[in-house]
Amino acid sequence: MTQPDDSANRSDLLAIYLRDHHAGSAAGLRLAMRARDTADGVAHTMLVGLVEEIADDQQQLESLMKVLNVQRSRLKNALAVVVERAARLKLNGRLLSRSPLSGIVELEALGSGVRAKRDLWSTLLIAAAHDRRIDRAVVKELHERASAQLASIDELHDAAVQTTFT
């Protein structure tokens, strides 16, 4: 792997990285909303809060992108939404209705997205050491929130697996 040779190159790489994560956040938010809308009971309540936090995380990312003068990519965002919608078409043992596996697989995908978001915040914590425009305290808080979100998703996943397979 080659190292960036100047700050302009690093800036371009950071812009690409942020655009990719922003597109992922669009798909992740849609997935979280779908999981919320199909859940009931405690899972629904937990997912309502999670959706609100994910939407706020996306706004925080957009604010940071604005500070760094990084424009969103409409193409990447559109492609991410298409991929998220296409993922709904996979078969879970039922052709026209949701399967108990649907919720499990959605939570696994949501967990993967939140892990990627946590990695984004980790990366930005490192980048903040070299770019004063990145508010390290805010990014650290977002990293901690992503870790808490992941713990909640893991809890929901374990409960769904328990209900489905025992």
For the chain, the average pLDDT equals 89
pLDDT tens per residue across span 87-135: 666 655 555 667 888 889 999 999 999 999 999 999 999 999 999 999 9
Q: Nearest-CA neighbor of 160 among 127, 96, 89, 111?
A: 111
Q: Which domains does the chain have, with CATH numbers?
A: 7-165 (1.20.1260.10)
Do 33 and 51 contact (CB within 8 A), yes or no? Answer: yes
Q: pTM for this one?
A: 0.86
The DSSP line for 95-156 is: SSS--HHHHHHHHHHHHHHHHHHHHHHHHHHHHHTT-TTS-HHHHHHHHHHHHHHHHHHHHH
